[in-house]
Amino acid sequence: MNSQQAPVTLRRLFFFFIPLGLSALLINLSHVIVNGTLARADNPELILAGYATAMSLLSVTEKPSVLFRETCSALVRDRLSFAATRQVAFIVFGGALAFGAVIAHSPAGHWVFGTAYGAEPEVADAAVNVYHALMFLSVFSGIRCLYQGVIIYKMRTRWLTIGMVIRLSSMFLMSQYMLHIGVTSSQQGAIIFVFGMVIEAAVSWFEGTKLARELPREADQCEIRRPRQVLRFYSPLLMSSLIVVWVPPVMNALLGHTDHGTLAIASFAVAGSFMNMFLGFFSYFHQISLQFYRTHPELVRKFVLLMAFIPASLISIMACTPLGPWILVHVIGVEDRLLESSVHALRAFIPYALIFPWLDSLNGIILSEGQTKLMFGSQTSNAMLTLVLIVTLTLALPDWTGALGALAQSGGIMAELALLAWLYRRSKRHIRLGAHLRSTGKGAGV
């Protein structure tokens, strides 16, 4: 029986969701492999700084490519819609490659890292050198996400976990080779990372291409035929992501001007990475809503209700019991003032973890209905309120260190959920009103 025709049960939702969560968790290990390899160099501070600086720019430039996972899983229902989505995707990938080439092979790279990022000359040089390899990553990341969209739509989510396991194994083998020949530059970290991404993209392409060929040529329920239709869905996602992605650097800059700037930035980073480690598994609620809400809304609500409180419960246990500080000390190596500030920041992230599953689920519903303009509005409000809160809190409570950033982000996500829910209800009312007017003939001539 075709996976799309199999009966949808709560058990099936869990089997769909768990591989997605595992693949998200495993992503963190890829960074551990690279950083652990570079840390064994003779001059680890410079090499790690050069790699981290280049990766901070990649977090911005890779985002347009990553969005094709959601775009493809939401829009592609036949071969014609896949061809239209793929055409837009490869235009975006070409733009990302061109941008990376400018950073790697022109004076613009030294200006970005040396002036805009404020890196020291040696670190800026190392970051530019990293981009000679890293410029290709957005392309392979985008290919991976494009075909993962088909894989997710066809309910073969285990392939995301399989691909990540193969990627990590490849990265580990490459890291051992780098250690064998000697780690002498930041670029070696980028080579390890890009090599792993190429492998994962190949796995996704292999399975995704096979599934794409099995799609009908033209499905009756699918209206996507041209790239312009894809852009109407994709463009609001792109614009909102480009706004949101600049919030963390601005927050770090503002935290650096508090009474204990270095401690504030460090504790916010530790608490944020700790929270993301637990939240990562639950970062695919939107795919549950996207794939199942329109046909099985009650089942999706039941699934979300069962799972949504787990992230906040885990963060609360870590932040409010001795278990969290013990892990921070013995696993991460955090001590003294940084330990205390990190725990306080983690407590301030509890509202964020509580809100996130509901927001992500609502985002999935909106993606399934193609109303991505609503997400642009809500995510913009999140970014604006987060920045307003961080400015206000740093002025009012400058000694609260990393908790300031966590509180600002928690407030921002609350605003995003509230506005998105209001916008969605208003949109549904307008749709119902329009349908009523058309059915009664009152909308004629308007």
- 135 contacts 101 by C-beta, under 8 angstroms: yes
Q: Are residues 366 and 446 both part of a single domain?
A: yes
pLDDT of 407 reads: 95
Q: Are residues 347 and 279 both part of a single domain?
A: yes
Q: Is residue 239 part of a domain?
A: no
pLDDT of 266 reads: 80
Q: Is residue 238 part of a domain?
A: no
Q: Is residue 240 part of a domain?
A: no
Q: Are residues 152 and 256 both part of a single domain?
A: no
Q: Are residues 278 and 423 both part of a single domain?
A: yes
Q: Are residues 142 and 68 both part of a single domain?
A: yes
Contacts of 131 (CB under 8 A, 6+ apart): 54, 57, 100, 103, 104, 109, 190
Of 172, 205, 233, the residue at which a domain comes to its end is 233
Q: Are residues 227 and 259 both part of a single domain?
A: no
Q: Are residues 180 and 276 both part of a single domain?
A: no
Q: What is the DSSP string of 311-376?
A: HHHHHHHHHHSTHHHHHIIIII---HHHHHHHHHHHHHTHHHHHHHHHHHHHHHHHHHTT-HHHHH
Q: Are residues 95 and 193 both part of a single domain?
A: yes
Q: Is residue 241 part of a domain?
A: no
Of 177, 206, 233, the residue at which a domain comes to its end is 233
pLDDT of 198 reads: 96
**Residue-by-residue pLDDT tens, the chain, 446 positions:** 344 556 789 999 999 999 999 998 888 788 888 888 888 888 787 888 888 888 878 878 888 999 999 999 999 999 999 999 999 999 999 999 999 999 999 999 999 888 877 778 888 899 999 999 999 999 999 999 999 999 999 999 999 999 999 999 999 999 999 999 998 898 999 999 999 999 999 999 999 999 999 999 998 888 899 999 999 999 999 998 888 877 877 887 788 777 787 788 888 888 887 888 888 889 899 999 999 998 999 999 999 999 999 999 999 999 999 998 998 888 767 778 888 998 999 999 999 999 999 999 999 999 998 899 999 999 999 999 999 999 999 888 888 888 999 999 999 999 999 999 999 999 888 777 776 667 676 554 43
Q: Is residue 357 part of a domain?
A: yes
- 174 contacts 188 by C-beta, under 8 angstroms: no
Q: Please state, in angstroms and rounded to a whole number, the distance separating the CA atoms of residues 59 and 276.
A: 15
- The domain of 82 spans 1-233
Q: Are residues 129 and 229 both part of a single domain?
A: yes
Provide the domain count of the chain. Answer: 2
Q: Are residues 324 and 412 both part of a single domain?
A: yes
Q: Are residues 110 and 70 both part of a single domain?
A: yes
